[in-house]
Amino acid sequence: MNFKRIHTLIEIAQILNCEFVGDASSSIKGMNEIHVVEKGDIVFVDHPKYYKKALESAATTILINKRVDCPEGKSLLISEDPFRDFNKLTINFNPFIASKKSISETVVIGLGAIIQPNVFIGSNVKIGKNSVIHPNVTIYDNIVIGNNVTIHANTVLGADAFYYKNRPEGYDKLISGGRVVLEDNVDLGASCTIDRGVTGDTIIKEGTKIDNQVHVGHDTVIGKKCLIASQTGIAGCVIIEDEVTIWGQVGTNSGITIGKGAIILGQTGVTKSVAGGKSYFGTPISESREKLKEMAEIKRFLKDRKNS
């Protein structure tokens, strides 16, 4: 998530009321999670297991709960609770503002686009040319929809990421400040839910077609010309490369990659990253031919044991 202007390290420290290590005038352009962080960003870390990864990441500033040696050219923000303070920054730079109208005055709607009755569209949404938004669709703030996109009834774009920290008093939510981006010629079926990124974007690329009742988690990127059938659940931070086919009732783990041209057969549990150009089936996932052979061998073994 980029800020509207460049801020200095001392300005951010004053917002959080915390100590800092580094050049007070150093520039900070935004904030991001570790998997999408860029130079000029703040990243947060609150567990020793991930200190090294955060300190060696592309981030310029690390929001951390311990004073450690600061890498050259970087800066630290020393916080008692980095998770809480990361939320504080999201609220400061991207606050939630309640809507007063069903369709915000800040929406940009392209020529020939059709918006059916009972659609809600939040602030700063962009909808491309000749797109069709069917009844009862909900589009949260800052969503980007390309040209020739079709979104069927009851679909929700931009709900919060399912991301919580377990505290003694209960679960603490990481506030989402990212977006959903649909590129040109994307179709979404009825009752789909596409969560926005925590700080980055959830992206569905050009020409992809998604069936009814599909869930796409935060910060997931779905490539071009993919086909995804109904009742599929895709977790957060998944990368699905171009021309992947996913059949019905598939579920995935978070943080995995499905390679270009892969075919995932129905009811498969994608428990790990898989290479492209192959067909997969089963839980845990394996190549479909191997899985079918295994099932046939088990069936033969049980039959032989019964007859012995």
The strand order across the sheet containing 19-21 reads: 2-8, 27-31, 41-45, 61-64, 75-78, 19-21
pLDDT tops 80 at residue 308: no
Q: Is residue 308 one of the residues assigned to a domain? A: no
Q: Could you report how far apart the first and last alpha carbons of the chain are, in Å?
A: 66
Q: Is residue 214 one of the residues assigned to a domain? A: yes
Q: Is residue 248 one of the residues assigned to a domain? A: yes
Q: What is the pLDDT of residue 301?
A: 79
CA–CA separation, 143 and 10 (whole Å): 31
pLDDT tops 90 at residue 269: yes
Q: What is the pLDDT of residue 119?
A: 98
Read off the pLDDT of residues 61-70 as tens digits, 9 standing for 90 and up.
999 999 999 9
Task: Check whether residue 112 and residue 172 sit in a common domain.
Answer: yes
Q: How many structural domains compose the chain?
A: 2
Please give the share of the chain, as a percent, with pLDDT higher than 70. 100
Task: Check whether residue 74 and residue 136 sit in a common domain.
Answer: no
Task: Check whether residue 11 and residue 85 sit in a common domain.
Answer: yes
Task: Check whether residue 44 and residue 188 sit in a common domain.
Answer: no
Q: What is the pLDDT of residue 199?
A: 94
Which residues 6+ apart lie within 8 Å of 96 measured at CB?
none
Helical axes 9-16 vs 82-93, angle rounded to 10° = 110
Task: Check whether residue 216 and residue 162 sit in a common domain.
Answer: yes
Q: Is residue 117 one of the residues assigned to a domain? A: yes
Q: What are the E-state strand segments in 27-68?
A: 27-31, 41-45, 61-64
Q: What is the mean pLDDT of residues 182-192?
A: 98
Task: Check whether residue 128 and residue 255 sit in a common domain.
Answer: yes
Read off the pLDDT of residues 113-138 as tens digits, 9 standing for 90 and up.
999 999 999 999 999 999 999 999 99
Q: What is the pLDDT of residue 278?
A: 96
Average pLDDT, the chain: 95
Q: Work out the pLDDT band at 163, boundaries 50, 70, 90.
A: very high
Read off the pLDDT of residues 66-85 as tens digits, 9 standing for 90 and up.
999 999 999 999 999 999 99
Task: Check whether residue 44 and residue 167 sit in a common domain.
Answer: no
Task: Check whether residue 226 and residue 280 sit in a common domain.
Answer: yes
Q: What is the pLDDT of residue 290?
A: 85
More confident site: 34 or 151:
151
Q: Is residue 221 one of the residues assigned to a domain? A: yes
The SS3 call for residue 52 is: helix
Residues belonging to the active site: 218
CA–CA separation, 203 and 219 (whole Å): 7
Task: Check whether residue 190 and residue 144 sit in a common domain.
Answer: yes
Q: What is the pLDDT of residue 298?
A: 83
Q: Work out the pLDDT band at 294, boundaries 50, 70, 90.
A: confident
Task: Check whether residue 133 and residue 274 sit in a common domain.
Answer: yes
83: domain CATH number is 3.40.1390.10
Q: Is residue 296 one of the residues assigned to a domain? A: no
135: domain CATH number is 2.160.10.10
Q: What contacts 24+ positions apart, CB below 8 Å, involve 172-178?
A: 172/83, 172/84, 173/87, 174/83, 174/86, 174/87, 174/198, 175/87, 175/90, 175/91, 176/90, 176/218, 177/1, 177/90, 177/93, 177/94, 178/1, 178/202, 178/218, 178/219
Task: Check whether residue 120 and residue 211 sit in a common domain.
Answer: yes
Q: Work out the pLDDT band at 303, boundaries 50, 70, 90.
A: confident
Task: Check whether residue 279 and residue 173 sit in a common domain.
Answer: yes
Which sign does the torsion angle of CA 159, 96, 179, 112 carry? positive
pTM over the 0.75 mark: yes
Domain that holds residue 235: 108-289
Q: What is the pLDDT of residue 211?
A: 98
The SS3 call for residue 61 is: strand
pLDDT tops 90 at residue 95: yes
Q: Work out the pLDDT band at 306, boundaries 50, 70, 90.
A: confident
Q: What is the mean pLDDT of residues 18-36?
A: 94
Q: Is residue 302 one of the residues assigned to a domain? A: no
